[in-house]
């Protein structure tokens, strides 16, 4: 029987590099439903926070506690980077790769990958070299590659950075479908329109610390701190 993954509880969690605190110490509890959007100025620590929660950067203090073992939590989540890495393989083989890693037969993995390629409008590009795709196509492929294993939790670091409106809309549609199917999303963005479209709750990060954590509607209607007000106005916040 599948165990519960959430809540995820961070207790005084901290990441420090070369004597500088990048994130923390933070106390945070994330429940198992909805989409959390992480916002804040450049250099605020958003990417490091996501990587810390995902477990791919070493913490220098505090603890992260899941409702299951850390090993099981790792198996049941995925991460999409701002600039995804494309293997020197075809589109279909890139998408199928995570399934093959867990022992799914190549033919079945490729068949399931082909279905995902159709969902992201790359069905006519199955045999194309993935490294030749456009930025938007690469990001959609990265999403399909992450979602094909049906993770309970997906982290995304600025997945629409530098993409045009059409590619952004297509990616948002994929994310909305994933959220509707039960995948928990934790995602950073600089696009406040995107944050308002996708977020159930907002994490506002500044100088490596969480300044506000609230429902999205409450945050956008009336942030509680002067820094968040200034950020939403478009002011420079440090």
| Total-model pTM | 0.92
Rounded to whole angstroms, the Cα distance separating 114 from 22 reads 40
pLDDT tens profile 95-128: 999 999 999 999 999 999 999 999 888 888 899 9
Pair (170, 223) in one structural domain: yes
Give the Cα separation of 114 and 102 in Å (integer): 18
Q: Is residue 3 part of a domain?
A: no
pLDDT tens, residue by residue, 11-49: 999 999 888 899 989 999 999 889 999 999 988 999 999
At 180-207, the pLDDT tens digits run 989 999 999 999 999 999 999 999 999 9
In terms of domains, do 98 and 216 share one? no
CB distance 82 to 131 below 8 Å = no
Task: Read off the CATH number of the domain in which 171 is found.
Answer: 3.40.50.300
Q: Are 145 and 94 within 8 A, CB to CB?
A: yes
Mean pLDDT taken over the chain:
91
Domain boundary among 99, 132, 165: 132
Is 2 within the bounds of a domain? no
Burial of 58 from C-beta contacts in 10 A (0-12 / 13-18 / 19+) = exposed
Cα-flanking dihedrals φ and ψ of residue 29, to 5°? -125, 125
Query: What's the Rg (C-alpha) of the chain?
Result: 18
Does residue 137 lie in a domain region?
Answer: no
Neighbouring C-beta atoms of residue 12, cutoff 10 Å? 12
Structural domain contains residue 108: yes
Predicted pLDDT at 14: 95
Rounded CA-CA distance 26/111 in Å is: 43
């Amino acid at each position: 029987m599948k165990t519960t993954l959430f809540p995820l509880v961070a207790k005084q969690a901290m990441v420090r590099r070369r004597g500088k605190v990048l994130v923390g110490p933070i106390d945070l509890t994330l429940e198992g439903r909805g989409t959390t959007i992480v916002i804040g100025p450049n250099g605020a620590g958003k990417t490091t926070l996501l990587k810390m929660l995902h477990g791919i950067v070493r913490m220098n203090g505090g603890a992260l506690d899941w409702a299951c073992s850390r090993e099981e939590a790792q198996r049941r989540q995925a991460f999409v980077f701002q600039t995804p890495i494309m293997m020197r393989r075809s589109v279909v083989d890139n998408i199928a790769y995570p399934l093959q890693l867990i022992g799914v037969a190549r033919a079945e993995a490729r068949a399931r990958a082909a279905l995902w390629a159709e969902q992201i409008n790359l069905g006519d590009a199955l045999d194309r070299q993935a490294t030749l795709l456009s930025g938007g196509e690469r990001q959609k492929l990265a999403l399909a590659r992450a979602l094909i294993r049906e993770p309970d939790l997906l982290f995304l670091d600025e997945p629409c950075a530098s993409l045009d409106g059409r590619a952004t809309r297509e990616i948002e549609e994929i994310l909305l479908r994933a959220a509707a199917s039960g995948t928990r999303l934790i995602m950073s963005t600089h696009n406040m329109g995107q944050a308002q479209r996708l977020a159930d709750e907002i994490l506002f990060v500044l100088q490596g610390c969480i300044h506000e954590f609230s429902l999205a509607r409450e945050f956008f209607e009336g942030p509680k701190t002067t820094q968040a007000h200034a950020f939403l106005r478009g002011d420079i916040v440090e």
